[in-house]
Structure 1
């Protein structure tokens, strides 16, 4: 028997598709169904490591990884067969079924989409055959009429599986009813018929004031408004790509004792791993793009980057390189993760055209050489003894993941005569500077370990199971009996 397919479309990027799809995965699971998520094509530098059918390790978008966990399913490359990781405004690395595909990466957009459609359809059909419900997420808007002929992620998917489609609008932006009507109106009749419900997301205010608009919209389209979801600050999941909102951090009405500035360079990647920090009482997270935003920070984090060399250029243009150096010189904590670790070193060397050459920030005596092939794997390890101010990490068992082209080495010749030399705490993975407040790691996901959060902050962030349980209660309240 083929699964019923529920598809979450949006009137725009940032409407809340990923969050709604995750909530529906959790809700259908709670009703006793076997559930899987699916997104044909995701454009994101937020990725997670999962097993591939041939026993290797590959990447899928973080949103589908979390949706699988919400569904109680093992994350699978078929759930996001095509992942586009932007490296520049006009270039993306193409990941097909978890693995980088150089030939597809060089193809024009439209030609690429047509080539991969049979494999996308096969992946979806396999998930339909194995599950009771498949919750499908669209991308951007289904009404991008310039891309309609080469669509492989929105209405082509909906037509293929005759999906029950929900169209989500961000009402907090304003113009939601026009967005819903305009999106529906731009679809051809056979696709309009697949839109079964409108969803107003991120609503703040008195829902009674919405009338008579939902009824008027239904009269024009035949589509009912099936849910009005209130604004969800601190909902517990990472925001969608490009959304930097610190209004939920620091706890509600609590004094801030620790300010963490995460440098938000243009090609930031895996920003989702910092979500637990936003939920800690007394901890404020700032997404920093100027030196002034680092001035009051207790910590500075240099996160992952899909283009470390280019993002280093951007940092220097903003004056952030000097600001990070001043922060370290003042004895305050600096943490570099993956691309951020590479930036903390002396040099980035690219002999294969992977990322580019660049001088690093010089806060760790490291040199990174970019390899042609990407290292993608889960990681589980016990942290060795770490010096202050990071000593609370010593001895902790942690899990995470690696996604990087760079291979980094400690250069003894770069710290000759140093009174306190830097240390390689874990071979190829973890380094601490001679100025011990500077720490660099290739392991993503450290803050998703409850033991790490508790050791560093003395508090616990809500678990994913708690987050999913809240979602289940919310879906029941907001949708009532309007879901198939």
Structure 2
């Protein structure tokens, strides 16, 4: 049976995904066969495994960190928010309409056996499983329905590291308060506190870590600095990307849809990307992107209410390149039809910039895809996640059947990751009259850099003790 390490957080966005990826790479660099695991993920930032199954983007990155093939056992439950009180349930890579229809608190009985099965299966196949929690274990109102935090830790006796985002302030109160909210069996699993995203001199923290140790009996085992090394994350790191340094030089405007999905795919745009919510923010845009959406009709209604629909249409007619990806593609078409109620049963006219019509089907397409684009002569690789089935009319050019269309300066595709193909990124920015930004280091290089910085920030005694178990 494998050993298990678990990273939990005092709050959401405490850096759990980042630290889990770092530990996965650190273990892989020491020759340890490790696998990531997160029982339940709530995110519209998802991807597709080689088997054509859907899982959270963070666990795909963590699998890359561990240098193992992504497997839906690593994220058995994925919740994809469709509205403030409704989420689609993806169970072991496939949509589960039956569990989606259940009230929140009734889902545990149906989901927990799948979580247990996936976790123990990974424990049997690997030397170490690095587990990521969700939100905070201090949410006592959710203890009875917990399938992702201390319930998981207790299932396999995981060594728990509790992280706090010290950049927010109040980190020692967060750590102490979280410890107080745990029951004795849960406290017994805590092996250390991590102060994450620290700016400044760690020596200035004294005597607070020692005080916290006296209060709880748990040592502070790491002070991890604020790291400017981006990774794709669950909640949309790239939505807060930097604006161009010189507004007059132009930028690529990306609509900040309420239910935007898969937005990390725009990372290659770097500082050229600007997320927009109002027509005024489009001033100076050289290109416009409508990204994917988990609720296409609802986000299309928001696009109209915000005034962006009209502004994007005017820019398209003025010759500005417009690109729609997945849900954005569907919005650019002539009509949306949802007879089966996949997204609430809405029927809506699209923007009419592409002569296309989309109907939502019961089965979701989840597949890794390679296609050839005759317009550019490029072979393009990416992945598809969509319920929509789109049919072309006579006014649009179908460049790749069912996948890629063009009508003048307006293009649409179901291929997520299109701009992660360097050749296509260069062509797209060329159409916009923009230079290609300096590229990000490869994901592998970033993971190595993060692992090295985190290792240097952890108590070396802790690390030696952990690694000695698997030596």
TM-score by length of 1: 0.90
Q: What per-residue deviation string (whole Å, max 9, x for no partner) do you get for residues 301-360 of structure 1?
A: 111000000001111111111121122123212110000000011111111111221111
By how many angstroms is 1:100 displaced? 0.8
2:4 aligns with 5
Q: CA RMSD in A?
A: 1.8
Structure 2: any 5+ residue segments left out of the alignment? 430-434, 467-471
Distance 2:369 2:411 in 1: 18
Distance 2:237 2:48 in 1: 23
2:384 aligns with 402
Q: Tell me, yes or no, if the aligned pair for 2:288 and 2:312 is still in contact at 8 Å.
A: yes
Q: Tell me, yes or no, if the aligned pair for 2:296 and 2:330 is still in contact at 8 Å.
A: yes
2:209 to 209, 214, 224: 214
2:77 aligns with 82
1:43 aligns with 42
Bigger mean CA offset, 341-350 vs 197-206 = 197-206
Matched, 1:352 2:351: no
2:403 aligns with 429
Alignment of 1:153-164 (within 5 A): 153-164=148-159
Partner secondary structure for residue 153 of structure 1: coil
Alignment of 1:257-406 (within 5 A): 257-278=249-270, 283-355=271-343, 356-385=346-375, 394-406=376-388
| Cα distance change on mapping 1:188 and 1:478 into 2, 3 Å | same
1:102 aligns with 97
Distance 1:196 1:125 in 2: 22
| Cα distance change on mapping 1:35 and 1:254 into 2, 3 Å | farther
Partner secondary structure for residue 146 of structure 1: helix
1:389 aligns with none
By how many angstroms is 1:249 displaced? 6.3
By how many angstroms is 1:185 displaced? 0.8
Q: What per-residue deviation string (whole Å, max 9, x for no partner) do you get for residues 245-271 of structure 1?
A: 545565xx8998451221111111111
1:26 aligns with 25
Partner secondary structure for residue 241 of structure 1: coil
Bigger mean CA offset, 467-476 vs 236-245 = 236-245
By how many angstroms is 1:39 displaced? 0.4
Matched, 1:477 2:456: yes
Partner secondary structure for residue 265 of structure 2: helix
Q: Tell me, yes or no, if the aligned pair for 1:377 and 1:402 is still in contact at 8 Å.
A: yes
Matched, 1:440 2:412: yes
1:241 aligns with 235
Q: Tell me, yes or no, if the aligned pair for 2:4 and 2:156 is still in contact at 8 Å.
A: yes
Partner secondary structure for residue 285 of structure 2: coil
1:449 to 397, 408, 421: 421
By how many angstroms is 1:442 displaced? 0.5
2:137 aligns with 142
Structure 1: any 5+ residue segments left out of the alignment? 386-393, 416-421
Distance 1:257 1:85 in 2: 37
Q: Tell me, yes or no, if the aligned pair for 2:236 and 2:263 is still in contact at 8 Å.
A: no
Matched, 1:65 2:65: no
Matched, 1:200 2:179: no
Higher relative CO (CA 8 A, sep ≥ 6), structure 1 or 2?
Answer: 2
Distance 2:447 2:315 in 1: 38
Distance 1:120 1:452 in 2: 39
Q: What per-residue deviation string (whole Å, max 9, x for no partner) do you get for residues 435-470 of structure 1?
A: x22110000011222443455454533211111111
Q: Tell me, yes or no, if the aligned pair for 2:241 and 2:274 is still in contact at 8 Å.
A: no
